[in-house]
Amino acid sequence: MTLVQLRHFVVLADVGSFVQASAVLFLTQPALTRSIHALEEELGGALFDRLGRRISLTPFGDEVLARARRLVSDAEALKQAGQGLHAGLIGQLRVGLSSAPGALLSTPLMLHMAEHHPRLQVHISRGRTAVLLNALREQHLDAAIVDIRDMRPSAELKVSLAFELTAGFLVRPDHPMALRSGPVSIEDVMAYPVASTPLSDEVARILIARYGPQANPDDMVTLRCDETMSIVEVARRSNAVLLTVHAVAADLVRLDVSPGLDATARFGLVTLAKRQEAPAIRILREHLPNWTDALTFTP
């Protein structure tokens, strides 16, 4: 017994004629007759009484029809669900976002899904790069958008859609250093609390090379938090100096530090190299470039 046979049976019961059912099913009448006979033999009873060219359901056929309808309907629903999953329209998408991507991309991602894919379940996890990559390896996440300079080389992981965002020292517009007419030194910056999320080793090397050992983040950063928007709010409401990507706080002012930092943070979409991607990741691939292109900073 196959679903094809059950569908033949349901259509034949609905139209009441082998000739009409054959036309609906795009089958020859002998092929439909063989399909129904095979189903009857397997079920062990006649499904139709044949009265010349007319047919009617037997009591047994009437009982089988209700169950056959459910099976055919469930199979069609499963087919549609599979097509929806493959298209990324339903199912779930589990994405990890490190600090800055979390602050910048969580809202655009959820807004897009709410407006265009309301049946897709989206789970966003926030955390440090190392934690999110471990979750990705353990298949608790489908993808992660993280600071790829903070990643160790790994054949397990595949990076795509890399993008860079400018970074530097930011303060509120009425900060004492923002009101100066010329550039400030790293010593001027360190006279105030410096706030930052955990920085990669590469960023630490850049800071030390530019400003000397005193700029080692382990010593220079006095307010460290995994959550970007928390330290942004601190900088808005105090004289703390924020070291982060500019796009997370367009209302803050970029300090003119001498020598200039001219730093960037480099992020990327990370997936497992040898695992078939979740269908909904195609949505990220399609729209992430647009979201990141919109992340501009005006000094």
Q: Is residue 287 part of a domain?
A: yes
Q: What are the φ/ψ torsions at residue 84 (nearest 5 degrees)?
A: -65, -40
Domain that includes residue 287, residue range:
91-164+266-293
Q: How far apart are CA 53 and CA 151, in angstroms?
A: 74
* Same domain, residue pair 144 and 184: no
- Per-residue pLDDT, averaged over 189-209, amounts to 91
* Residue 16, amino acid: G
Model pLDDT, residue 77: 60
Q: Tokens standing for 216?
A: 């080692």
Q: Give domain status of residue 50, yes or no.
A: yes
pLDDT in the model for residue 131: 93
Distance between CA 266 and CA 101 in Å, rounded? 10
172 and 246 housed in the same domain: yes
Q: Are 188 and 229 members of one domain?
A: yes
Domain match, 60 and 146 both: no
Please count the structural domains in the chain: 3
Instruction: Compare 152 and 89 and report the one with higher pLDDT.
Output: 152
The more confident residue out of 3 and 270 is 270
* CA-based nearest residue to 116, from 82, 81, 87: 87
Q: Is pLDDT larger for residue 84 or for residue 146?
A: 146
Residue 130's CATH number: 3.40.190.10
pLDDT tens, residue by residue, 96-111: 999 899 999 999 999 9
> Among all chains, which residue has been given the structure tokens 């706030």?
195
73, 99: one domain: no
Q: Is the predicted pLDDT of residue 174 greater than 90, yes or no? A: yes
Do 12 and 60 lie in one domain? The reply is yes
For the record, the structure tokens of 13 come out as: 């019961």
Q: Work out the pLDDT band at 141, boundaries 50, 70, 90.
A: very high
- Each residue's pLDDT tens digit, 109-123: 999 999 988 888 899
pTM as predicted: 0.69
Domain boundary at 64, 86, 108, which? Answer: 86
Higher pLDDT, 284 or 279: 284
Q: Which pLDDT does position 86 carry in this prediction?
A: 62
What are 238-282's pLDDT values in tens digits? 999 999 999 999 899 999 999 998 788 889 999 999 887 888 888
Report the SS3 class of residue 152: coil
Residue 139 domain-assigned? yes
Task: Read off the pLDDT of residues 63-87 as tens digits, 9 standing for 90 and up.
Answer: 999 888 888 877 776 665 566 656 6
> Which residues on neighbouring strands pair with residue 95, listed in sequence order?
124, 143
* DSSP codes joined into one string, 176-196: TTTT-SS-B-HHHHHTS-EEE
Listed residue (195, 197, 207) closest to 239, CA to CA = 195
- Report the share of the chain in percent with pLDDT over 90: 51
In the chain, % of residues over pLDDT 70: 93
Residue 298 lies in a domain: no
Q: How does residue 298 score in pLDDT terms, banded at 50, 70 and 90?
A: very low
pLDDT given for residue 190 in this prediction: 96
pLDDT for 299 beyond 50: no
Mean pLDDT of the chain: 88
Q: Indicate if 217 and 95 belong to the same structural domain.
A: no
Answer whether residue 283 shows pLDDT above 50. Answer: yes
Same domain, 81 and 215: no
